[in-house]
């Protein structure tokens, strides 16, 4: 199975400041079809997860442009340019290149 | 509004069975793969199973193979997860989700399954 490792596991951020989460996979998630099957999700408290970023760097519909994804191969980053109060929750990255699809452990983001 | 409405969770004894349902609305269900993901209490997300558009391809995480069955009824816009031989470690919130291009772009609200004696 592909192991997906996120760092840090928790983050406390002052509103308006940037935040960054790293996601590393044990194998490349670049598929032979040219797609990079790496996704980012946010689970707000008491809610279902929601898709933020797909294929490593594409913002999903309705996601604010302060969220951005980057990276390739095995190393990826989610950046929030200016954290807002509504961004609190647990962020997960997920690889979809190989079964079983696997998630990182999650990064809990809180506001200072 | 596009949505996935889940039902069927509850409390069951170890070794028991339960069937989860997920009814979709406002999109063409029969043209999408569907997925189940679970989350144990206080833990992270775990992919459980996928099913293709016509139900001919089913994929499972190893820990549920032979015990869980994913299925669908396109005429009823419904997705199911039949869970047999349940174990304490199957206790979790189960989410149905839609995975176009493997991205899980639409999620149900989740249903709690508790396996306990």
Q: What is the pLDDT of residues B89-114, one digit of tens each?
A: 999 999 999 999 999 999 999 999 99
Q: Mean of the pLDDT values across residues A12-37?
A: 97
Q: Mean of the pLDDT values across residues B5-32?
A: 96
Residue to test with chain B: of A1, A50, A101, most B Cβ within 10 A: A101
At residue A111 the predicted structure's pLDDT band, cuts being 50, 70 and 90, is very high
Provide the CA B108 distance to its chain's centre, in angstroms: 10
Whole-angstrom distance, CA of residue B103 vs CA of residue A96? 8
Asked whether A49 and A39 are in contact (CB, 8 A), the reply is no
Task: Determine phi and psi for A85, rounding to 5 degrees.
Answer: -60, -35
At residue B3 the predicted structure's pLDDT band, cuts being 50, 70 and 90, is very high
What's the pLDDT score for residue B116? 97
What's the pLDDT score for residue A95? 98
Q: Is the dihedral of CA A63, A94, B61, A33 positive or negative?
A: positive
What's the pLDDT score for residue B110? 98
Q: How far apart are the first and last CA of chain B?
A: 39
What's the pLDDT score for residue A94? 98
What's the pLDDT score for residue B57? 98
Give A-chain residues touching B110 at CB under 8 angstroms: 48
Is B95–A102 a contact, with Cβ atoms under 8 angstroms apart? no
Helix (H) or strand (E) holding B59: strand B58-60
Is A49–B107 a contact, with Cβ atoms under 8 angstroms apart? yes
Q: Please write the tens of the pLDDT for every residue from B28-72.
A: 999 999 999 999 999 999 999 999 999 999 999 999 999 999 999
- What is the number of CB-based contacts under 8 A between chain A and chain B? 53
Whole-angstrom distance, CA of residue A95 vs CA of residue A108? 19
Chain B positions contacting chain A at CB under 8 Å are 37, 44-47, 59, 61-62, 95, 99, 101-105, 107-110
Q: Is the dihedral of CA A57, A58, A60, A63 positive or negative?
A: positive
Is B104–A99 a contact, with Cβ atoms under 8 angstroms apart? no
What's the pLDDT score for residue B7? 96
Task: Determine phi and psi for B90, rounding to 5 degrees.
Answer: -85, -5
Is B107–A96 a contact, with Cβ atoms under 8 angstroms apart? no
What's the pLDDT score for residue A24? 98
Smallest Cβ–Cβ distance between A99 and the set B37, B59, B101 belongs to: B59
Nearest CA to CA, how far is B108 from chain A (Å)? 7
Among residues of chain B, what percentage have pLDDT more than 90?
Answer: 98
Tell me whether residue B53 is exposed, middle or buried, using C-beta atoms within 10 angstroms of its C-beta: 0 to 12, 13 to 18, 19 or more: middle
Q: Please write the tens of the pLDDT for every residue from B60-95.
A: 999 999 999 999 999 999 999 999 999 999 999 999
Give A-chain residues touching B112 at CB under 8 angstroms: none
Give A-chain residues touching B3 at CB under 8 angstroms: none
Give A-chain residues touching B46 at CB under 8 angstroms: 103
Q: Is B78 left (phi over 0), alpha (psi -120 to 50) or beta?
A: beta
Nearest CA to CA, how far is B55 from chain A (Å)? 18
Smallest Cβ–Cβ distance between B109 and the set A37, A48, A101 belongs to: A48
At residue A96 the predicted structure's pLDDT band, cuts being 50, 70 and 90, is very high
């Amino acid at each position: 199975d592909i192991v997906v490792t996120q760092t840090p596991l928790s983050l406390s951020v002052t509103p308006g400041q940037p935040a960054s989460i790293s996601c590393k996979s044990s194998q490349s998630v670049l598929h032979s079809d040219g797609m990079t099957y790496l996704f980012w999700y946010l689970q707000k408290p008491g809610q279902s997860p929601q898709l933020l970023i797909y294929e490593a760097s594409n913002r999903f519909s309705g996601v604010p442009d302060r969220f951005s994804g980057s990276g390739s191969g095995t190393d990826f980053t989610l950046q929030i340019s200016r954290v807002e109060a509504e961004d609190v929750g647990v962020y997960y990255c997920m690889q979809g290149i190989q079964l079983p699809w696997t998630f990182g452990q999650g990064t809990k983001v809180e506001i200072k | 509004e596009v949505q996935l409405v889940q039902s069927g969770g509850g409390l069951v004894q170890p070794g028991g069975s339960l069937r989860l349902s997920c009814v979709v609305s406002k999109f063409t269900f029969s043209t999408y793969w569907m997925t189940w993901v679970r989350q144990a209490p206080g833990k992270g997300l775990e992919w459980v199973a996928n099913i293709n558009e016509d139900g001919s391809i089913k994929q499972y995480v190893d820990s549920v193979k032979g015990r869980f069955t994913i299925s669908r009824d396109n005429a009823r816009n419904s997705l199911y997860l039949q869970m047999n031989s349940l174990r304490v470690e199957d206790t979790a919130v189960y989410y149905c989700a839609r995975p176009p291009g493997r991205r899980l772009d639409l999620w149900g609200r989740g249903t709690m399954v508790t396996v306990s004696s």
